[in-house]
Amino acid sequence: MRILLPVDGSSFSDAAANEVASRPWPPSSEVRIVTAFQVPVTPTPEVWAIPPEYFETIERTARKSAQAIVDAAVAKLRGALDESVSVTSEVLAGPPGEAILDRADAWKADLIVMGSHGYGTWQRFLLGSVSQAVVAHAKCSVEVVHRRSDYEKENSKAA
């Protein structure tokens, strides 16, 4: 079985990693941990005003941060999963939703397990929802892990 685990360093993706770590996967299963980063676009139309090394520095910093995120998840899963389950990682460049879907297709994932930030309607409208995009467009099964404490907090506010 091929399990794709997108992480972003948040407690929400930690909950998804914990879910993957807690399960007895079939022997020879593969878990691929991915994270995606996107270099922000310049806020000014005068691209010439920003030196080229600025973008190189931004990308290098984003890639380094992304690598640290996947390395932490790899360490967690390798310590928790059976040795017959292989754990690999990859840093992807691009918008997270697209990058996750592209990697899942190319790798032929059987399952995507990911956390959800639990945004409300307005937050999803303004910020978008990576998990919602993946659920809507993935060609394999998707499991979205919610942290119970966050769900209970949200429901207690509504009551």
- Residue by residue, DSSP assigns 2-32 as EEEEE--SSHHHHHHHHHHHTS-PPTT-EEE
Closest CA to 34 of 9, 59, 53, 56: 9
Return the pLDDT at 116.
83
pLDDT digits (tens, 9 = 90+) for 142-155: 999 987 655 455 55
The matching CATH number, chosen from 3.40.50.620, 1.10.20.60, 3.40.710.10, 3.90.870.10, for 2-158 is 3.40.50.620
Region 46-64: mean pLDDT is: 81
Region 1-30: mean pLDDT is: 94
Count of other CB atoms within 10 angstroms of residue 82: 10
pLDDT digits (tens, 9 = 90+) for 125-142: 444 588 888 999 999 999
